[in-house]
């Protein structure tokens, strides 16, 4: 049996929002057992929004949460870091509507969580163990969740680009593997999409410092941190959206060209059907011992990093 965790010490970080370009300050605070991950808008008298599927608002180019018309946007990178570090309970104070994009990855959040440390709480951790498969598609985009005794993700992307061809990531996810293999992977965009996004009022805070940018042929601000950084970042986003289940998952998730919309639909459909899962305080140890061999990442890019 494992026990719930919170952070040991408060930590903070600030930066500008990717879509709003508004500077925001984030402060993480310890929380009691069974609190979950709860955002507090410190600029709105501490108004609280739980990081749960019930509060999902918009998921087009970021995952946003809303309660009583109060919005918190671009939550997925922080949620992925908290989830993979095993932080069950934490208050996230935020003084604007959007979390900072920082360098476009989850690594800065991992860094401050290391500073924060962890504290064990006297309450068993409750897992959601998937018992039956759930899968669905939207055109050529597909996603599914399947029974497993560990948390494992399989993510496939293909942007038909000379520097970002087909990429496939599959790994058992824990604090170590996430921090090393996924957290540093940055968000990305294409020059041809920039004007359209800006007309929609998005990515006003985007820059070469917080996103990988590509034209029709190459990467404008290389080198990449990984040859398959695009696939790894999509896996990072997937994990951040899965954190909205509100419990650690024992399951294998397969995402094929999926995005925030399919990710959050999967969470909502899973939670709505109690025949698909059970809640347990016990995590069975997989038959094989987790080693570096449990991480399988393959990149089938048409080109290596610029």
Q: Following DSSP, what letter does each residue of 208-235 receive, concatenated?
A: TTTSEEE-SSSBTT---SSTTHHHHHHH
**Catalytic: 260?**
yes
Catalytic residue among 161, 260, 263, 302: 260
- For the chain, what's the residue count? 306
List residues bridging with 144 in a β-sheet.
Answer: 135, 254
Whether 306 and 217 have beta carbons less than 8 Å apart is answered as no
- Give exposure, 11-42, as e/b (b: 16+ Cβ within 10 Å): bebebbbbbbeeebebbbbbbebebbbbbbbb
Nearest to 248 by CA among 162, 165, 180, 150: 150
Whether 18 and 209 have beta carbons less than 8 Å apart is answered as no
Q: How many helices (DSSP H) and strands (DSSP E) are in the chain?
A: 6, 19
Phi/psi class of residue 152: alpha, beta or left (left: φ > 0; alpha: ψ in -120 to 50)? beta
Nearest to 242 by CA among 139, 127, 141, 138: 127
C-alpha dihedral sign at 13, 224, 210, 84 = negative
Q: How far apart are CA 230 and CA 164, in angstroms?
A: 7
Burial class (CB in 10 A: 0-12, 13-18, 19+), 291: exposed
Please identify every residue annotated as catalytic: 260
């Amino acid at each position: 049996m494992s026990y719930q965790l919170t952070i040991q010490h408060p930590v903070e970080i600030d930066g500008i929002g990717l879509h709003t370009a508004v500077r925001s300050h984030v402060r993480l605070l310890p929380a009691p057992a069974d609190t979950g991950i709860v955002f507090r808008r410190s600029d709105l008298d501490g108004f609280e929004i739980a990081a749960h599927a019930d509060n999902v608002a918009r998921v087009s180019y970021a995952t946003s949460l809303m309660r009583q018309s109060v919005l918190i946007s671009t939550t997925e990178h922080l949620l992925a870091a908290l989830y993979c570090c095993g932080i069950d309970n934490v208050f996230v104070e935020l003084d604007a509507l959007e979390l900072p994009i920082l360098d476009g990855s989850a690594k800065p959040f991992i860094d401050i969580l290391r500073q924060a440390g962890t504290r064990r709480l006297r309450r068993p951790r409750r897992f959601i163990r998937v018992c039956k498969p759930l899968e669905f598609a939207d055109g050529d985009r597909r996603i599914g969740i399947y029974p497993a005794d560990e948390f494992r993700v399989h993510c496939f992307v293909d942007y038909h680009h000379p520097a970002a061809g087909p990429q496939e990531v599959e790994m058992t996810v824990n604090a170590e593997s996430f921090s090393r293999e996924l957290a540093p992977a940055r968000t990305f965009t294409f020059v041809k999409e920039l004007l359209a996004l800006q007309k929609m009022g998005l990515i006003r805070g985007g820059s070469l410092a917080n996103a990988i940018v590509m034209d029709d042929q190459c990467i404008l601000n290389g080198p990449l941190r990984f040859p398959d950084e695009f696939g790894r970042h999509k896996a990072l986003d997937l994990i951040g959206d899965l954190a909205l289940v509100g419990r650690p998952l024992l399951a294998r998730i397969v995402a094929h060209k999926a995005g925030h919309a399919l990710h959050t639909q999967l969470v909502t459909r899973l939670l709505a059907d109690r025949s698909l899962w059970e809640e347990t305080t016990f995590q069975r140890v997989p038959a094989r011992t987790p080693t570096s061999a449990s991480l399988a990442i393959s990149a089938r890019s048409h080109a290596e990093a610029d």
